[in-house]
Amino acid sequence: MTPELIEEAAHRFALLGDPTRLRILHVLMERGELSVGDAAAAAGTSRFNASGHLNRLALGGLVARRQSGTTHYYRIFDPRLGGICDWICETVKERALALTSGPRPPRR
């Protein structure tokens, strides 16, 4: 990979590093295309906050947007994003299980 492509990859990973953006992406993956207001309500954030995050996600190529009148709608741009999120969630669950079950003291 070229240095430019590595920078772009790092930018996309950084976009996935924010909990609010992950909640918004999760909602879009579950429900499909949503307006900013609907995405905000479902993700538990303000419309203003969701709009900013969705704009960043769109500029990063992770979501697509369209406008109908004064309403903006967003959807997942690349369906492979779901696979990345599934992989990360599974590893987080496995790690949490390993940490909570941990080694047990020896029996006497």
The whole-number pLDDT of residue 104 equals: 60
The whole-number pLDDT of residue 89 equals: 84
User: pTM for the whole thing?
Assistant: 0.83
Longest dimension (CA), the chain: 73
pLDDT in tens, 10-19: 999 999 999 9
Return d(Cα 83, Cα 81) in angstroms, integer.
5
Return d(Cα 15, Cα 21) in angstroms, integer.
7
Annotation: CATH topology of 3-101:
Arc Repressor Mutant, subunit A (1.10.10)
pLDDT at 99 over 80: yes
pLDDT at 85 over 90: no
The whole-number pLDDT of residue 102 equals: 64
Tokens representing 80 are 């492979």
How far from 102 is each of 40, 97, 98, CA to CA, in Å?
A: 38, 8, 6
* Mean pLDDT (whole number) for 60-89: 93
Q: Chain-wide mean pLDDT for the chain?
A: 92
